[in-house]
Amino acid sequence: MAMSQSMPIQELPATFSRLQLGIEDYAVIGDCRSAALVSTEGSIDWLCWPCFDSPSMFAYLTGPENGGSWQICPATTFTTSRKYVHDTNVLQTTFETQTGTVRLTDFMPVAGEEFTSGRLVPQRELIRILEGVTGEVEINVQFNPRPQYGTKKPDIQDNGKLGLRVDIPGAVVRLQSQMEFKLNPSGATGMTNIQAGDRLSFSLTFATDAPAALAFPEGSLAALTRTIDWWQMWSAKCSYSGEYREAVLRSVLALKMLHFAPSGAFVAAATTSLPEQIGGDKNYDYRYCWLRDASVAVHVLCGTGHELEAEAFVEWMLHATRLTQPKLMVVYDVYGNIVGEEKELPRLSGYRSSVPVMMGNSARSQVQMDLYGEVICASAKLYKGKGKLDRDTAKTIVNFGNYVCKHWREPDAGIWEPRGEPVLHTHSLLLCWVALDELVKFAETGTIDVKQIEAFKKTRNEIRTFIETQSWNNRIRSYASEPGSEKMDSSLLLMSFHNFHEASSERLQGTYNRIKNELGAGGSLLYRNRPDGRGTFPEEGAFGICGFWAVEHLAMGGGSLKQAEETFEELLRYANDVGLFAEEIDPKSGAALGNFPQAFTHIGLISAALAIEKRRKEVAEDVRNSARQWIEAKQ
């Protein structure tokens, strides 16, 4: 590289734009602080640094013209296959051409404290290692950063052996490699030939602090080894050993990647504004933490042997809510701050022209009464039976119960956060009942001293009576999503998960059948609701987690074990080639829709798998008992 070259970035020419791939054509890599989306064509089309919700470095995914990307791929026609290294979040993409084969390994380094302590390591780093497998392949590298959601045009400086330097507001980004780059108005390019046995490394680092730690390409293999070891050691803790271990572990690994380790929060997804309908405007920023995910997230973390992450999440929740207690906000950022209002990013033209592209989320100002049940239920799953809670934590949880007693009859936005007027939602009422029911159990086990236990019991019973008389619709033989209506909502399937009724009860059987008839999207897929109550289906895809809720209902006794297994296995076929799900699924094409990868969908998958495994053990125990009784009768 020539020393001290500098060239200002210009907008990408229109001819640079590639055909946008499907959302399912992406995989994700991360370091439990940030994440990048990598396409089947070797392009990093989404990366926000230094945190999940930071401004983007590459946002081609949501703005091909101005978003920026970093692509490494053969210069000629190629086919690809890809996989994660066993039990890790290290991605390997293999390119095959007429002249040879190369393998690209992408990852963000992670390591234990025993390595990072006392060492000066990059604040953030993304490493790409290209290896020749067979023959010889000409490689093309296009490096086109567009910081701040495509609004900044930084200078790229060629600093010789120190690599390419990109100055952005408040930080320095540096790309180092053995490859030589040429600067051009769009960024930097490089061409080289890779033969079998050759290896070429790229290290992209980010630093806001001085002095910035440099990473050199020769250290990439050591970083790869450490990262593989770290992920495999973490995966070894997974206690699930059932038939669906591969799908469950991939979902657990995806969930861990969406875990912001410094605080304990989990973000809903790694992206913003991937549309629920192509060309539509249901494009939201999911790079934050929703309390609605709490109880099931803690359930699946504890159920797969990851109690440390569950404990960190609950502690983060109780800390994040401290400024507004006992009132709960719907969504927080990874540090526990209130999320900003929605703001359009006009420089980004949207995924397949689906605008607007947004940052922030207006759900921040909504009222959702289900949150209280989520937080209390998550706390119960973690703390119940483990001795008396400390005074401050106990006071916080009890105050949430007091708030429920005062406000449970009030209309709210509900779990799906429509932007219309608040109404009473059966799911919110259910979670208010859960909140008080768990508080009563807390008191009965001695985990919390609850002076108001009689008041909690009284209100709990009032809520149950209200649901049974107002949300139950005798004419349709089903619970309705809103009291006094005939509207249906897939969230009603959670009544069995929260033990409101046995899944095999007449009322929940009727509700399940009604949901399948009214909200079925074909096969195992379900829409979450019909906003108008009847008639046409919503202009969005089938909601991923709703199908898994149905599986769990079946596994809990709402159907046969075979039904649960078959439905689950059909849903698994909608994952992409590396086992990842977005928020929604297009019922016609099977394509992924919405933000990606989606924590909610993967949480639902894990929870459904745990329910199936529990049912299998119950069936096996029944068979053993029957055999024992038969033998005893013969003796």
- List the CATH number of the domain containing 161: 2.70.98
- Does 147 share its domain with 285? no
pLDDT in tens, 426-483: 999 999 999 999 999 999 988 888 888 999 999 999 999 999 999 999 999 999 999 9
Sign of CA dihedral 467, 470, 475, 479: negative
Within a domain: 592: yes
Q: What residue ranges of the chain have pLDDT lower than 50?
A: 1-17, 535
- Does 292 share its domain with 422? yes
The model carries a pTM of: 0.94
pLDDT score recorded for residue 532: 60
- Does 133 share its domain with 47? yes
Cα 525 to Cα 570: distance, rounded to the nearest angstrom? 9
pLDDT score recorded for residue 15: 31
CA 288 from chain centre, in angstroms, equals 10
Instruction: Provide the token pair at 78.
Output: 């190629």
Q: Which residue from 196, 201, 192, 193 is spatially nearest to 101, judged by alpha carbons?
A: 196
**Containing structural domain, residue 363:** 237-624
- Does 191 share its domain with 265? no
Last residue of a domain, one of 234, 253, 287: 234
Within a domain: 206: yes
DSSP state of 468: I
Within a domain: 365: yes
- Does 222 share its domain with 284? no
- Does 491 share its domain with 398? yes
Within a domain: 631: no
- Does 358 share its domain with 402? yes
pLDDT in tens, 590-635: 999 999 999 999 999 999 999 999 999 998 888 888 878 888 787 7
Cα 402 to Cα 105: distance, rounded to the nearest angstrom? 53
Within a domain: 307: yes
Q: Which amino acid is at 82?
A: R
Assign residue 385 the CATH number of its domain. 1.50.10.10
pLDDT score recorded for residue 408: 98
- Does 558 share its domain with 514? yes
Within a domain: 629: no
Q: How many structural domains does the chain have? A: 2
